[in-house]
A and B are shown apart, each in its own frame.
Chain A
Amino acid sequence: MNSTLTREQHLELYYFMRLNRELEEQMVRLFRQNKIVGGLYPSLGQEAISVGTAYALGPGDWIAPMIRNIGALLVRGFKPRDVMTQHMARYTSPTQGKDGTSHFGDLKSRHVISPISMLGDLIPVMTGIAMAGRYLGQKIVTMTWIGDGGTSTGMFHEGLNFAAVQKAPFVLVVENNQWAYSTPTEKQSALRDLADRGKAYGIKSAVVDGNDVLAVERTTREAVSHAREGNGPVLIEAKTMRMLGHAQHDSAEYVPKAMLEAWKQRDPLDRFEKVLTEKKLWDAKTKKEIDARIASEIRADVEFAENSPFPPPETAEEGVYCEGCHTIEADWQRPKEEVMPPRSSVKAEWPLKSYAANGARPTAAAPAAPKSKPVKKPARSAVRVRAKAGR
């Protein structure tokens, strides 16, 4: 399938994927020099998912990356120095040393929610942002990622079910990298495709080759517009492989060598480079220029990170509460007059669509709000979109 992306966009995808990989390789070097304070969780082999999904969003949309979504942070405008100073616990990091790894965000401008370590929590949180965005008239979509292991949590179920009944404009990317620490996916779920979990919640789902950045971007773009148009959440299962251990300390002896060899042949960067060459979207000179740019950015940011101080110890006591340091402001994109002053118009009775126990398909995010657009015809059942796997 042809991509509608321009040459510049193709090159930008390459830039972010390559930057993702080079940054992580640099961080491995820092880890070996004992400069990474805590854990380092690699995304080698999964760059196409982080980059391709985040790339399909608009600037007003919200994301909550998980631990292996460094690529998504980069797409969203964070710099290698942000990632490095976080891991190195420096005072210049986005959290000023309060938290590490990818646990940072930016509410106001980049609309990035900091993840936490407990898996699945981001699903209801991003559902809440999606609901708030709808109420405020923002036309936004929210997105988060979860691994195959994370789909086993109770939070995954509660969150996705709630998003579904609310028809929240929310996209969930399940990165099936086949390993939850040392546990293979077949011990997480009896499903062949984790995308089928979407069916259980009555939402649209899709399977995509997670090592094909163009397929990932295209599938996500479709999902995002489906959600943005008010048709409810979408679950995308991106099939891939975790090419290293759970974290830097884990040599992953439990992974069959042949499996790694097989997946090495499907490396997302190698494949995308081949596409760029075949489509004549670049030449050796262009690649060299981009790679050189990345190398110099990383070099400058390593220097910045290494020269950054650790936080003053006494700052440990600061920031438990917001004591007027932030203002809470909603970005109203609809006239406030639509909701203020409140109108007494709702009868406290459910306008049910069907009286049958199994006949009712939820069609709206609660009965339609005043002035909202007519609800689009709902999908009769979970529609399954299969993006072309491989090339």
Chain B
Amino acid sequence: MPETTYLEAIRQAMFEEMDRDPAVVLIGEDVGVYGGAFKTSEGLLARFGWERVIDTPISESAIVGAAIGMSYAGLRPIAEMQFIDFIACAFEMITNFAAKSHYRWGAPVPMVLRGPCGGGVHGGPFHSANPEMYFVHTPGLKVVCPATARDAKGLLKSAIRDNNPVLFFEHKYLYRRIKEELPADDFTVPIGKAAVRREGRDLTIVSYAAMLHTSLEAAAELAREGIEAEVIDLRTLLPLDRETILASVRKTNKLLVVHEDTRTGGIAGEIAAIITESAFEDLDGPIRRVTSLDTPVPYAPGLEEYFLPSAGKVVAAARELVRY
């Protein structure tokens, strides 16, 4: 079996879902003829035609608004933000219109909003964002951040079949850098379930998206020093799989959260609150965080490297925590 990249996994998920269900359509800037800025939708127009693969004006609010309308009419639209930074332009439509719709008047919005997020590719302040926490703070949305090709495909399929607005953050650093063999069958990965990527006894490292790989790299390094880290991949940030995190912390008694999102208001703070509320007695040390700095994402490679978490920073924090 050939290996499939994270990017190709996303393309396959859209392709297969559109093949399966004529209610699935794709809408966004340059998604059709051009096949998407990253070529995630290459070949979709040729297969599914102009009615189902819709190129739009540069109007992020209108893209999301139209997708909401299509949802109301019984379709299952996938709306693309060319870079996830531009989701800010559609913030209103997502948070006020889509997120509250089912709660307010029982009208589900089965829409997926997907796009490339994350840094490490020298995209600068407007092509590198990790805006997931704006939306984790919005009841009614689901927020998914896959870290592997298998999850990218399986979670995107679940997102398309979900009756709620799902924000699907694709880490662009992973697009072509990771690949794996995927099952040939029509598999899905459930939204709201974390995965234990490495078992260990000495501390728990919770992470997601590109930082999962950084955390795994750090865990391998720590293992050489005799420190066994358990690494959890959140996969979904909203709804958060509290049980998997709690079970791991109850076992290791120490928690380090690693995310590429900036520090203040990142998911680490929420996880720390959950653990202190529900597993305080199980803790043998302070909850630690390794995150990006509280700044915009800088452009120059040296600045960005300084800004981002790295395996070295995770290893250092883990060592300190284990010694505590």
Pair B92/A155 contact, Cβ less than 8 Å: yes
Separation of A342 and B104 alpha carbons in the complex (Å): 36
Separation of A130 and B73 alpha carbons in the complex (Å): 9
Q: Convert B78-96 into 0s and 1s, putting 1 for each residue whose CB lies closer than 8 angstroms to a CB of A.
A: 0000000000000011001
Pair B70/A320 contact, Cβ less than 8 Å: no
B22 close to A (CB within 8 Å): yes
Pair B45/A129 contact, Cβ less than 8 Å: no
Chain B contacts for A346, CB-based, 8 A: 45-46, 49-50
Separation of A325 and B110 alpha carbons in the complex (Å): 13
Closest Cβ neighbor of B20 among chain A residues: A340
Chain B contacts for A131, CB-based, 8 A: 54, 66, 69-70
Contacts A319-B103, A366-B55 given; indicate if A135 touches B25 (C-beta within 8 A).
Answer: yes
Pair A121/B69 contact, Cβ less than 8 Å: no
Interface size of A by CB at 8 A reads 65
Pair A159/B107 contact, Cβ less than 8 Å: no
Chain A contacts for B56, CB-based, 8 A: 162
Pair B49/A161 contact, Cβ less than 8 Å: no
Please indicate which of the listed interface residues A142, A324, A328, A366 has the most CB atoms of chain B within 10 Å of its own CB: A328
Q: Convert B46-77 into 0s and 1s, putting 1 for each residue whose CB lies closer than 8 angstroms to a CB of A.
A: 11111110111101011111111111111111
B139 close to A (CB within 8 Å): yes
B122 close to A (CB within 8 Å): no
Q: Convert A138-168 into 0s and 1s, putting 1 for each residue whose CB lies closer than 8 angstroms to a CB of B.
A: 0000100000000000110011011001000
Separation of A154 and B92 alpha carbons in the complex (Å): 11
Chain A contacts for B97, CB-based, 8 A: 116, 118, 121, 125
B100 close to A (CB within 8 Å): yes
Interface size of B by CB at 8 A reads 58
B163 close to A (CB within 8 Å): yes
Pair A342/B65 contact, Cβ less than 8 Å: no
Pair A114/B48 contact, Cβ less than 8 Å: no
Pair A129/B70 contact, Cβ less than 8 Å: yes
A128 to chain B, nearest CB (A): 2
Pair A118/B66 contact, Cβ less than 8 Å: no
Separation of A367 and B102 alpha carbons in the complex (Å): 35
Separation of A370 and B48 alpha carbons in the complex (Å): 11
Separation of A319 and B100 alpha carbons in the complex (Å): 10
A350 close to B (CB within 8 Å): yes
Q: Convert B101-120 into 0s and 1s, putting 1 for each residue whose CB lies closer than 8 angstroms to a CB of A.
A: 11111111010000000000
Pair A135/B105 contact, Cβ less than 8 Å: no
B189 close to A (CB within 8 Å): no
B18 close to A (CB within 8 Å): yes
Pair B103/A154 contact, Cβ less than 8 Å: no
Contacts A131-B66, A342-B47 given; indicate if A136 touches B73 (C-beta within 8 A).
Answer: yes
Q: Which of these, B19, B45, B106, contacts A326 with CB under 8 Å?
A: B106
Separation of A215 and B127 alpha carbons in the complex (Å): 51
Chain A contacts for B214, CB-based, 8 A: none
Separation of A116 and B19 alpha carbons in the complex (Å): 34
A99 close to B (CB within 8 Å): yes
Chain B contacts for A328, CB-based, 8 A: 23, 71, 74, 76, 108, 110, 163
Contacts A125-B97, A159-B65 given; indicate if A98 touches B103 (C-beta within 8 A).
Answer: yes
Closest Cβ neighbor of A327 among chain B residues: B163
Chain A contacts for B66, CB-based, 8 A: 124-125, 127-128, 131, 162
Pair B73/A330 contact, Cβ less than 8 Å: yes
Chain A contacts for B262, CB-based, 8 A: none
A369 close to B (CB within 8 Å): yes
B164 close to A (CB within 8 Å): yes
Separation of A155 and B69 alpha carbons in the complex (Å): 14
B71 to chain A, nearest CB (A): 8
Pair B47/A344 contact, Cβ less than 8 Å: yes
Chain B contacts for A344, CB-based, 8 A: 46-47
Q: Convert A300-342 into 0s and 1s, putting 1 for each residue whose CB lies closer than 8 angstroms to a CB of B.
A: 0000000000000000000111111110111100001001111
A113 close to B (CB within 8 Å): yes
A191 close to B (CB within 8 Å): no
Please report A residues at the B interface, Cβ cutoff 8 Å: 94-95, 98-99, 103-105, 107, 113-114, 116-118, 121, 123-133, 135-136, 142, 154-155, 158-159, 161-162, 165, 319-326, 328-331, 336, 339-350, 366-370
Q: A103-B104, A128-B65 are in contact. List 6 more A-B contacts (CB 8 A).
A: A113-B107, A124-B63, A124-B68, A125-B69, A131-B70, A132-B70
Give 24 A-B contacts (CB < 8 Å), ordered by A residue. A99-B104, A113-B69, A114-B105, A118-B97, A124-B93, A125-B66, A125-B68, A126-B69, A127-B62, A128-B71, A131-B70, A132-B69, A132-B75, A154-B61, A155-B92, A165-B57, A320-B139, A339-B22, A339-B51, A345-B49, A348-B33, A348-B46, A366-B50, A366-B51
